[in-house]
Structure 1
């Protein structure tokens, strides 16, 4: 990706509609387009990337889970977002923008304004994590999927809807899996996590030992509850 390229994301689950939108976007210079069939796939692959705007297929959005719609509302707060839908039996589309000045435009004119007046003038940024720093929360920690065993009583910090840091003295290996149960959540199904990095306990260390994990097996209800925990 060159320094002048505009990083956009298209979220649409139908392959024919993917090709339709990509064809309309191909006429614009210097666009680096990422295409995802749903918000979950996008969320799992967005870490560390910078974006300038999003195009979201309305039919895909309607069929999305409540957790995915929560992520969509999160994007609306921080990025230019254009909702689009292909008109049946035609080569045209309609769009919707949260913009009073551009909201009266239609079709290709609206797409032009979205890309050139909003996205190109928007500073590329990563997906805000809503990270909750300096707050510790209690969890039950399992090192296997045998949930009949007594769990370790642990605490976590730096909570986001995608990840957290688990404070533990146990040896942690990158790529290994653990399960967490948040004591404050109503939905007590253990959340499957993958260890991304570890900070082992050492003599004289001036930091908390533990591991950074990402949530790879989490229910929509749990995403909503985590979002509320982060806000509180």
Structure 2
């Protein structure tokens, strides 16, 4: 069953959202406080986030930051439940609330369940070759950059079409050890899809010991502030 995190209080409105999700074949987990949101997203693999805006606007702290950082990583739908009538309003144009919710659940079902990573990535720009095949065929290889990096993964600028679960290969041109690194695409944003950075989040399968040491030195020397990102 599709697992969706619902940012809503455990009251009548939250029950309405859970019931509507269940009618569409999904299960909803309610959370309205920062601590519970962080705990759920770190420990329970989810496939999307349904946001009751009145609850979200009252939210503060790390939980709200994580939700904001999740944009582009999980399908999201913003909505409001009328406390008196139970009617659902969605902040999407051109569709009814029922259509928007059904489309949202369908998008979530296509996503692999995942949690957020406990480790932070550092915003740093590295020159890389990013390819869809191990041989770095010019037709499927981009000369591009990273937006952020950690010893376990990276988010790269890309205008190619990537899908979660797909294998990618990359080569860090700024490292002395340029052994190609393979990884799994955990989320991707297509070019031209809203005001978002196009690219893909990659979880490394393995890197050499030398690359790990070089990345540690590179990240330690960065003057940029660390930024939390989403990855399985």
TM-score by length of 2: 0.49
Instruction: Report which structure shows greater RCO (CA 8 Å, sep ≥6).
Output: 2
Structure number with larger C-alpha Rg: 1
